[in-house]
Amino acid sequence: MAKDLFESEPKDLFSSEVDSKQDAEAKSKAEEEAKAQARARAEEEAKKKAEEEAKAEAEAKAEEEAKARADAKAKETDDLQALRLRRALEREKHEAEKRATKQEEIPKTAAEKQLSLVETLTRNLDRIHKRI
């Protein structure tokens, strides 16, 4: 019997067996690449989403801190204004008391023994420099 030299080749050159295997491998490779690209896109989207959330959180925190600083400053100015008002009221009250006491001055009377200027000066000096 004669040996067929073209045994390994398909009988029909237009058969799809070899092509179907190559097509199946190509399809599986294409599917794997598509899955890998989908995973990569999903990871990128997840990273972008995480960055956006972090950015939004940082902005919210900064906004909250700015609001807290503004509230603290407003409270401080209100406290200072209240303190100034209270001090002004106290000052007016104190001045009114002073005016009231000035009107009620005690009448002065002369001393029983009138001293000369020299005598009062010597008494003051003796009092200041007196030894104990």
pLDDT, tens digit (0-9, with 9 covering 90-100), for 35-91:
999 999 999 999 999 999 999 999 999 999 999 999 999 999 999 999 999 999 999
Q: CA 24, CA 35: separation in Å to the nearest integer?
A: 16
Q: Which residue range is the domain that position 42 belongs to?
A: 17-104
Instruction: Tell me how many domains the chain contains.
Output: 1
Query: Within a domain: residue 126?
Result: no
| Range 94-101 average pLDDT | 87
* Domain-located, residue 112: no
Tell me whether residue 60 is in a domain: yes
> Is residue 36 included in any domain, yes or no?
yes
Query: In angstroms, what CA-CA distances link 90 with 13, 30, 65?
Result: 114, 89, 37
User: Is 131 inside any structural domain?
Assistant: no
Would you say residue 124 lies in a domain? no
Domain membership of residue 32 (yes or no) is yes
